[in-house]
Amino acid sequence: MRPLQVRLIAWIATGTLAVFCCALLASNLYAIHRVTQYSKKYLKGIARKVAEITLAAGAGDQPLPAPVAEDIEEHLAFLDSQQRLAVAVLTTDGRVLYRSERFNVPLDQRLLRGDRSQLRLLGVQSGPEVSDALSEWRFVFRHEEAGLIVLVCDAHHFELAERLTEGGLVAVLVALLLAVPTGYLVSRRILRPFDAIAQTAACVRRGDLQARIPVVSRTPEVLQLIEALNATFAELEAAFCRIRQFSADAAHELNTPLTALRGSIEVCLAKERAPEEYQTVLADSVQEISRLSGMVRDLLLLANPGSAERRAAFSPVDVQALVSETAERLSVIAEQSGVRIVTEAAPGIHVPGDAMLLHRALYNLVHNAVRYSPAGATVLVRSAPLDGAVAIAVEDQGPGIPRDHQERIFERFYRLDPSRSVGTGLGLSMVKWIVELHEGRIEVDSQPGQGSRFRVILPTGSTAPAAG
């Protein structure tokens, strides 16, 4: 048993017992009080009747004549068939006029010099042993009237009170015996979710990422905790799968061109060649190596996003400058492909962001638009305010993207036609990551043969209101 369980058992048992004992004590005290009250009234009535019989018989200071004593005993027998009542009649100076056989309370000064009407609890010696003296108790009612003291001794009502006390003690004992098992059962119920959580956490630690905490409790707070932990485990599993997939994809994407590169160099070195041939192979290799190092750079960025730190370093970025600078940087490539880049950027719009990353995102979009456009086509880059945000659209007249590919082009290494693609397949996933880092969204609207329109919507935040 664990220390917490032992402590819980102790708390539950003590609490249960304390409440039980208090309730029992209160009810017993009340019951005993009622018995005492009733007994007082009852015995007083008997004492007065005995005094009345004695006085009617004209008793002086001599022992009562037998018929009077019989009258008294008859009256007692009438009231109590079990013969638990006894009386003694005395003069106020202590002379005994009558004493029932069963009246075994010592007639000492306590009884002779008491109040006029008084109920007392007295011990009587019922046997020679000391324990007998301790075990027998009586209610004794003292009544004084017209020079007589009538003592009525009642074993019955005291026994009733005694039974109540005994019953209470037995109940406490039973409660004590039940409190510990009850505490054990309740503590097990309370601790069950903790056991389930610990077991599942151990499974996850051992590598079973699919392990989930079973719903072992209906308590809303515990349910909430289990759901939150299960959601965390699910996210952990998804993240782990993503990382695994990412590593596998990255390894594959790097391995294929590296193998090709090595192959072409080995073929080149296999025999003596003309200097021009070496130059061609080296130039191709450099191009491929720079593409691969770009891919590695992108992979490093995607693998270590550090969103919180990046957001903390955001500063206002001028969207108009962003658009014109990107178009400027790509103008040479566009010219070589015979593509024209046209910009229409609204002035005075700023977004809170990382200028380097935003340049990178727009560069990727415009670069794709240029790459996939035929010679003579136009690429249009526009920015306009949009309800607390800015919309930056890149439109081209390229081949378009079929609807069923439009979601997937944002996945890492996804390419519509890998054999024809010149890129790494990381461009759009990088754009999506950058846009989401800026709490924006990216949409694509495209139809095969009718060009594509990529639209990035970025919140302008409070740094600069969107200009009209």
Residues of the shown chain interacting with ligand ADP in the complex, contacts defined by CB under 6 A: 364, 368-369, 372, 396, 398-399, 401, 409, 414-416, 421, 423-429, 452
Comparing CA positions, the residue from 144, 157, 154 lying closest to residue 87 is 154
Considering the complex, state which of residue 401 and residue 435 has its C-beta at the smaller distance from ligand ADP: 401
Residue nearest to ligand ADP (CB): 423
Residue corresponding to tokens 């022992």: 63
**82 neighbors 156 (Cβ within 8 angstroms):** yes
C-beta of 383: minimal distance to ligand ADP in Å?
Answer: 18
**CA distances from residue 316 to 351, 354, 434, 465 in whole angstroms, order as listed:** 5, 8, 15, 11
Considering the complex, state which of residue 264 and residue 421 has its C-beta at the smaller distance from ligand ADP: 421
C-beta of 2: minimal distance to ligand ADP in Å?
Answer: 54
Q: How many CB atoms lie within 10 A of CB 267?
A: 11
C-beta of 453: minimal distance to ligand ADP in Å?
Answer: 9
Considering the complex, state which of residue 211 and residue 365 has its C-beta at the smaller distance from ligand ADP: 365
C-beta of 369: minimal distance to ligand ADP in Å?
Answer: 5
C-beta of 455: minimal distance to ligand ADP in Å?
Answer: 12
C-beta of 430: minimal distance to ligand ADP in Å?
Answer: 7
DSSP string computed for 256-310: HHHHHHHHHHHHHHTS---HHHHHHHHHHHHHHHHHHHHHHHHHHHHH---HHHH
Percent of the chain as helix, strand, coil, to the nearest 5: 55, 15, 25
Q: How many residues does this entry show for the chain?
A: 468
Q: For the packed helices 355-371 and 427-437, what is the interaxial angle rounded to 10 degrees?
A: 150
**CA distances from residue 417 to 256, 420, 423, 427 in whole angstroms, order as listed:** 16, 6, 11, 15
Considering the complex, state which of residue 16 and residue 429 has its C-beta at the smaller distance from ligand ADP: 429
Q: How many CB atoms lie within 10 A of CB 390?
A: 26
Considering the complex, state which of residue 104 and residue 406 has its C-beta at the smaller distance from ligand ADP: 406
Considering the complex, state which of residue 167 and residue 402 has its C-beta at the smaller distance from ligand ADP: 402
Considering the complex, state which of residue 46 and residue 369 has its C-beta at the smaller distance from ligand ADP: 369
C-beta of 412: minimal distance to ligand ADP in Å?
Answer: 8
Considering the complex, state which of residue 14 and residue 450 has its C-beta at the smaller distance from ligand ADP: 450
Cα–Cα dist 440/450, whole Å: 26
C-beta of 332: minimal distance to ligand ADP in Å?
Answer: 19
DSSP string computed for 107-126: --HHHHTS-SEEEEEEE---
